[in-house]
Structure formats: C-alpha cells, structure tokens
C-alpha cells in the first residue's frame, strides 16, 4: 500500500514517514520545504535503509499534484502540510487561510479525481478554544481564538461536508495535544526556524546555551504551581496513532474524530524540573506575564482513541524530555550542518 504523506519533511510528518516505512507501507512525500529541509528526508532514508520518492511540490500547485496522483496508486493520504505558528497567523492571516485551506481543498479535489478515498488529517486541540472543562472530550463545543486555529476548524468542517457528500470517503481527524520528543536515535526531531515559540524547543535551546533563560508565561493560573498545564505527547506515540487510524479507515466509512493525547497534564515548572533531571543542568527561568491567548489548563480524554483505534500513548514525560534533549545535543543547529 502506498501512502501519500504531505508535509513529510516536517517535524511530525518525518516521524510518521519512518513509522509507515517500518510498518511495511510504501511512502511518497510531498513537501514544499517552506518550514523544513531536504536533509530530514535523507535522514529518514539513512535511518530506515529504505528508499521512497520525495517531491518538492506546493500543495497549491494543482497541476504538479495532479501529475503526482497520476504517477502513483495511493491507498490513502496523511495530510500534515500546513503553516502552524499561532503568532504568525495573527500577523499574516490571509497567508494562513490560503495555504492551509486552499492547500487542503486542492488535495481533496485530487483525491476525488483520482479515486483516493482515505485521509488522515492533522488537526489540533486548539479547536476546543477555551474548553468548558478538562479532560477534553471530542464532543465538546469548538471555537478558535486565532487564524491558525480557525484554519483547523474550517478544514474540519470542509472534511465533514466532503464525507457527507460522498459516502465512499473515509476520514480520520486527529486532534493533537502537545507533540514533543524526537526519534530515540537522535537523528530526527523538531527543527524550528529562528527563536522557538514552543516550550520544549525553547527549553532545549536554553539548556544548550543558545537562549539565556526561559520566560514562563504566567505564574497565576489556577493550577498546582500557578503555571500553565498541557498534555505533552511523545511524537513517536503520536505517529503510532496515525498508523492505527489508517487501519481503522480500512474497515470504517465516514468521518471520525480522535483526541491524540496522554490524558495527563504537566505544568511548565514540572517540565522544567524534568529537564533539569535529564540534562543535569538547572534551566534558568523567570516568571513573566501570561502570553495573550493562552489558556490555563488543557488535557485530553483519550478514551475514544483507546476504544476505537486500540491506541494509547505509552512514553513517559522523562522519555519525552530525554529524546528532545538527545536530538538537541546531537544536532545543535538542527538539520543545518
Ligand atoms: P512542520 O512545519 O514541521 O511540518 C509541516 C510541513 O508542511 C513542513 O515541512 C512544511 O514545509 C510543509 N508545508 C507547509 N505548507 C505546505 C504547502 N502548501 N505545500 C507543501 N508543503 C507544505 O509542522 P509539524 O509540527 O510537523 O505539524 C504537522 C501538522 O500537524 C500541521 O498541520 C500542524 O498544524 C499540525 N499540528 C502540529 C502541532 C505541533 O505542536 N507541532 C500541534 C497540533 C497540530
Ligand atoms: N510557555 C512558556 N514559555 C515559552 C513557551 C511556552 O511558559 O517560552 C508555556 C505556555 O504558556 C503553555 C505551555 O508552555 O502553558 C506550552 O506552550 P506551547 O507554545 O509549547 O504550546 P501551546 O499549548 O501553546 O500550543
């Protein structure tokens, strides 16, 4: 079975490509490298000892995409490609709507044209907005607080409409909580451009001396220690959930939505302490104002994925921190040598 992986050079897509190859799937990757490097593709080939086709193509280029769909016989699509930075989406909303939504529309049009019926889509816990309570269930009301989140919400709606209009279409919408960690080999990981926005790459850059100290955004949330709580999930657990979703789509029509999280929340200070243990260093930090748009507490109820997909996260917080740190130490400048 050949799977089209869009965004397969990026953080999560590259780990998913490894997992697919190791589970016997054939893979074709499409990525325009707008937020990644070709080196990640080379690493995947080196790590797995398997070859696969990579096309540096933009999803908005419908002719190029059409050619790719004509060339291969895809069983399914895993769709990771998209812009993902919340702050940037506030500054450049049109670019986010255009890239994420038009890119997905073009992809879905090609799937219909070439009779490809199965799609696994990367959504986000951001679609729960300010959740009514925790743990968050898939049936909770949805909202968005920034253009990035709205692209995910709109794409989810588009996919639900598509499935309604065409009973042979099968879609798994996967709402990720906070993916962190890296491949245990240290050969693949998250490679943000410039100063990281997210907590873990920021901490590892502090630990390695690239940033002076961590700024903890808010110490007055209603949590045990006042800092924000999130459901961090190891990227290897996350991509295993994608394989289970593909298997699920073999047997089920229509559209189904799943939370991919661990069900456990950790505070920023708990994360810092875990990194102190793993690195043997004291991460310097300062508690500052809350970051606008942040919520206090967010963690999943992952029971639906456990019941219907037979999947649950297995890796501990310590493993997540160890693998993030291992990647950072082995690749201080990411994929840029
Ligand atoms: P990433 O930026 O590392 O990977 C996305 C990849 O898509 C990049 O390689 C980029 O070059 C490519 N891309 C972007 N626009 C494209 C286009 N028009 N055509 C072709 N390629 C394009 O991001 P990631 O962290 O791997 O995230 C993957 C998906 O998961 C995204 O859709 C993201 O919104 C979603 N997601 C990520 C997180 C997270 O914390 N990382 C959380 C929730 C959801
Ligand atoms: N955070 C922080 N300092 C940083 C980056 C993040 O204190 O430099 C906090 C943020 O307020 C949130 C948690 O870490 O409570 C996770 O933030 P991240 O941006 O990684 O993911 P989010 O949950 O916002 O998608």
| pLDDT digit string (tens) for the chain, length 337 residues | 999 999 999 999 999 999 999 999 999 999 999 999 999 999 999 999 999 999 999 999 999 999 999 999 999 999 999 999 999 999 999 999 999 999 999 999 999 999 999 999 999 999 999 999 999 999 999 999 999 999 999 999 999 999 999 999 999 999 999 999 999 999 999 999 999 999 999 999 999 999 999 999 999 999 999 999 999 999 999 999 999 999 999 999 999 999 999 999 999 999 999 999 999 999 999 999 999 989 999 999 999 999 999 999 999 999 999 999 999 999 999 998 6
Helix, strand, coil % in the chain, rounded to nearest 5 = 40, 20, 40
Q: Among residues 291, 232, 287, which one has the least CA distance to residue 263? A: 232
Gap from CA of 10 to ligand 1 centroid (Å): 6
Gap from CA of 1 to ligand 2 centroid (Å): 38
Atom of ligand 2 nearest to the CA of 296: 15
Q: How far is residue 85's CA from residue 87's CA, in Å, rounded to a whole number? A: 6
268 lines ligand 2 (CB under 6 A): yes
Cα-based distances in Å from 263 to 133, 256, 268, 314: 13, 19, 16, 11
Name which residue sits closest to atom 7 of ligand 2, judged by CA: 216
| pLDDT value for 206 | 97
- Alpha-helical runs (H) found in 123-218: 147-165, 199-207
Atom of ligand 2 nearest to the CA of 196: 8
Residues serving a catalytic function are: 148
**Candidates 8, 77, 84: which one to mutate for ligand 1, based on the most atoms within 8 Å of Cβ?**
84
Beta strand ranges found along 93-141 (DSSP E): 118-124
202 lines ligand 2 (CB under 6 A): yes
Structural domains of the chain ordered from first start: 2-183+232-263 (3.40.50.720)
Q: What angle do CA 230, 234, 239 make, to 5 degrees?
A: 120
Name which residue sits closest to atom 20 of ligand 2, judged by CA: 198
Atom of ligand 2 nearest to the CA of 180: 20
| pLDDT value for 293 | 87
Q: Among residues 288, 289, 279, which one has the least CA distance to residue 206? A: 279
Gap from CA of 268 to ligand 2 centroid (Å): 8
Residue 227 contacts residue 287 (beta carbons within 8 Å): yes
pTM: predicted TM-score of the whole model, two decimal places: 0.99
| pLDDT value for 178 | 98
Gap from CA of 86 to ligand 2 centroid (Å): 11
Q: How far is residue 101's CA from residue 160's CA, in Å, rounded to a whole number? A: 14
Q: Which sign does the torsion angle of CA 201, 203, 204, 209 carry?
A: positive
58 lines ligand 1 (CB under 6 A): yes
DSSP state of 289: P
Q: Among residues 125, 44, 112, 34, which one has the least CA distance to residue 77? A: 112
Q: Which residue has the tokens 């939504």?
A: 101
- 56 Cβ contact list (under 8 Å, min separation 6): 31, 32, 33, 38
Order of all β-strands in the sheet with 297-298: 266-267, 229-230, 297-298
**Candidates 15, 41, 61, 82: which one to mutate for ligand 1, based on the most atoms within 8 Å of Cβ?**
82
Residue 197 contacts residue 87 (beta carbons within 8 Å): yes
Cα-based distances in Å from 107 to 39, 113, 145: 25, 10, 26
**Candidates 291, 295, 296: which one to mutate for ligand 2, based on the most atoms within 8 Å of Cβ?**
291
Residue 107 contacts residue 57 (beta carbons within 8 Å): no
**What does the block give as tokens for 29?**
């990757």
Q: Is 280 helix (H, G, I), strand (E, B) or coil?
A: coil
| pLDDT value for 234 | 98
Closest ligand to Cα 100:
1
Write the DSSP assignment of 134-152 as a string of letters: SSB-TTS--B-SSHHHHHH
| pLDDT value for 94 | 98
Phi, then psi, of 182 in degrees rounded to 5: -160, 170
| pLDDT value for 307 | 98
Q: Is 294 helix (H, G, I), strand (E, B) or coil?
A: coil
């Amino acid at each position: 079975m050949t799977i089209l992986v869009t965004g397969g050079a990026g953080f999560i897509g590259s780990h998913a490509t490894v997992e697919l190859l190791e589970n016997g799937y054939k893979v074709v990757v499409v990525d325009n490298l707008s937020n990644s490097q070709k080196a990640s593709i080379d690493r995947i080939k080196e790590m797995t000892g398997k070859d696969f086709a990579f096309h540096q193509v933009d999803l908005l280029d419908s002719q190029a995409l059409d050619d790719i769909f004509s060339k291969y016989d895809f069983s399914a699509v895993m769709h990771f490609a998209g812009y993902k930075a919340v702050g940037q989406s506030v500054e450049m909303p049109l670019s986010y709507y255009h890239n994420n939504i038009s890119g997905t529309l073009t992809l879905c049009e090609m799937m219909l044209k070439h009779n490809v019926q199965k799609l696994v889509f990367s959504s986000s816990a951001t679609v729960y907005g300010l959740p009514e309570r925790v743990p968050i269930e898939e049936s909770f009301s949805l909202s968005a607080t920034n253009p990035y989140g709205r692209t995910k919400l709109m794409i989810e709606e588009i996919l639900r409409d598509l499935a309604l209009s065409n009973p042979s279409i099968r879609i798994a919408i996967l709402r990720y909580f906070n993916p962190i960690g890296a491949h245990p080999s240290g050969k693949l990981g998250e490679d943000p451009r410039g100063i990281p926005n997210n907590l873990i790459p920021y901490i590892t850059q502090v630990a390695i001396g690239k940033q002076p100290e961590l700024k903890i955004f808010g110490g007055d949330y209603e949590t045990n220690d006042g800092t924000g709580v999130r459901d961090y999930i190891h990227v290897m657990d996350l991509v295993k959930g994608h394989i289970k979703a593909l298997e699920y789509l073999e047997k089920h029509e229509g559209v189904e939505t799943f939370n991919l999280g661990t069900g456990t929340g950790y505070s920023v200070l708990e994360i810092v302490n875990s990194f102190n243990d793993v690195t043997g260093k004291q991460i310097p930090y300062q508690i500052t104002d809350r970051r606008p748009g942040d919520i206090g507490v967010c963690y999943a109820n992952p029971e639906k994925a456990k019941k219907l997909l037979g999947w649950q996260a297995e890796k501990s917080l310590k493993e997540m921190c160890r693998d993030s740190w291992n990647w950072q130490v082995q690749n201080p400048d990411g994929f840029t040598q």
